[in-house]
Amino acid sequence: MQQQAVRKKGSVLAANRYHRQVLFAPIGEAGQEKLSQSHVLIVGVGALGSSSAEALARAGVGKLTLIDRDYVEESNLQRQQLFSELDMKNKLPKAVAAKQRLAAVNSLIEIEAIVGDAEADNLSQLVSQVDLIIDATDNFETRLLLNDLAQKYRKPWIYGACVASYGITFTVIPDQTPCLQCLQDYIPQQGATCDSVGVIQPVVQKVTSHQVTEALKLLTGNEANLSGKLTAFDLWKNQHTEVDVATLRNPDCPSCSEARSYPNLAYDARMKTTVLCGRDTVQLRPQSKQVELAEVARELQKNKQIQLVRNPYLLSFEVDSFRIVLFQDGRALIHGTMDQMEAKNIYYRYLS
Ligand SMILES: [Zn+2]
């Protein structure tokens, strides 16, 4: 009896909660039920990831998995809507801070936070389990990796990127649309980054507004309404372009054709040192993964000049002109250099 009452109360709460969305005819009760049964992977929890995650959590997507390698910094607060000054002070990993905030927004859904790099091994496992992937990464290598994995497991994914006042998005459906590899020549890949030319917050919202709407269409069985176009815009210059790319599917594409070889999966396996573009930072990813942060901290504290900041997920300290951050999965960020050898030297000097 009591259980029934609780269940009834829960369903009444949920009915109120999603009422305006259920009233929207293309979604309706059936669509809402499909959303509650859906599992979405969001790769990257920066500006795009924060915005998509909040929208999908509020919409009632049953399970969200968030993966991000970074932690909250002051320069994120202008546009990364899930984070607070306290998250910054505590140097919380973005995935963890996002989960805390999202759980406060919607306690009826499940949120999984993964602090780690989006690389072939762990992404492969995640991609195979979800219904849909939202791209919210900050680099093209990871997008190409996602593209290959999405093709391999036949999962739809929604590409999105922005810089300055420019944004671009496209929904990739395996066996139907061109993939990112097919469209490489039509998409800007390098050059300007948010760290070199900046970014304004509304452009983030516009990209995720497209991504989340496409996600809702896909998840609620409204595929007929998908855009099918490559959408690009510049909010400052008042430009909006929709490019019909249906004919651009490459019959010899190494990622989505019959003769596919998934070239980006092999490439990722070799990547161990990454210069984080425009951030004056090198990321090092040693082959042995887990580290004992407590043990490393004990060693470091023998050096009285090192001021250590620690939380359960990472430790951070400054030495000379560098700031070093070590995560539990063994990754390290060396801020203050773009020289990979120098970064390795610092790593071996202090962290091994
Ligand atoms: Zn392709």
Q: Is residue 28 part of a domain?
A: no
- Domain membership of residue 328 as a residue range: 273-350
Any domain includes 14: no
Q: Are residues 240 and 112 in the same domain?
A: yes
Same domain, 258 and 281: no
pLDDT in tens, 122-157: 899 999 999 999 999 988 888 999 999 999 999 999
**242/305 same-domain check:** no
Classify 293 as helix, strand or coil: helix
- Give residue 267's pLDDT: 56
One-letter amino acid at 287 equals Q
Q: Which tens digit of pLDDT belongs to each residue from 61-79?
A: 999 999 998 899 999 999 9
Report CA(125)–ligand 1 centroid distance (Å): 22
Find the 175 Cα to ligand 1 centroid distance in Å.
Answer: 9
Q: How far is the CA of 257 from the centre of ligand 1 (A)?
A: 6
Which is nearest to 203 in space by CA: 231, 164, 169, 240?
164
Question: How far, in Å, is the centroid of ligand 1 from the Cα of 156?
Answer: 13
- CATH number of the domain to which 313 belongs: 3.30.310
Q: What is the DSSP letter of 247?
A: G
Q: pLDDT: is 250 or 185 the higher one? A: 250
DSSP 185: G
Round to whole Å and give the CA distance between 114 and 119. Answer: 12
Ligand 1 centroid to residue 172 C-alpha, Å: 10
- The answer to whether residues 166 and 234 touch, using CB atoms and an 8 Å cutoff, is yes
CA 261, distance to chain mean position in Å, is: 25
Kindly report the CATH number assigned to the domain that includes residue 92. 3.40.50.720
pLDDT confidence tier of residue 7, bands split at 50, 70 and 90: very low
Domain endpoint, select from 237, 266, 295: 266
**How crowded is residue 110: how many other Cβ atoms within 10 Å of its Cβ?**
11
Among residues 162, 179, 194, 253, the one annotated as catalytic is 194
Same domain flag for 342 and 243: no
- The reported pLDDT for the residue numbered 11 is 58
Residue 215's pLDDT band, with cuts at 50, 70 and 90, is: very high
Domain count for the chain: 2
Q: Show the DSSP H helices in the chain as ranges.
A: 2-17, 19-23, 28-36, 47-59, 85-89, 94-105, 120-129, 140-152, 194-197, 201-219, 263-270, 293-300, 340-351
Please check the confidence at residue 5 and state whether its pLDDT lies above 80. Answer: no
What lies within 8 Å, CB to CB, of 180 at 6+ separation is: 143, 144, 146, 147, 159, 170, 172, 187, 255
In this structure, the chain runs to a length of 352
175, 316: one domain: no
Do 168 and 150 share a domain, yes or no? yes
Residue 277 is a catalytic residue? no
Q: Which value, in Å, is the radius of gyration of the alpha carbons in the chain?
A: 21
Centre of ligand 1 to C-alpha 178, Å, is 5
This prediction's pTM: 0.80
If asked whether residues 249 and 278 sit together in one domain, one would say no
Tokens of 159: 């590409």
Indicate left, alpha or beta for 238 from its phi (over 0: left) and psi (-120 to 50: alpha): left
Q: Please tell me the distance between residue 44's alpha carbon and the centre of ligand 1 in angstroms.
A: 23
Instruction: Give CA–CA dist 157/255, Å, rounded.
Output: 14
Residues 191 and 288 in one domain: no
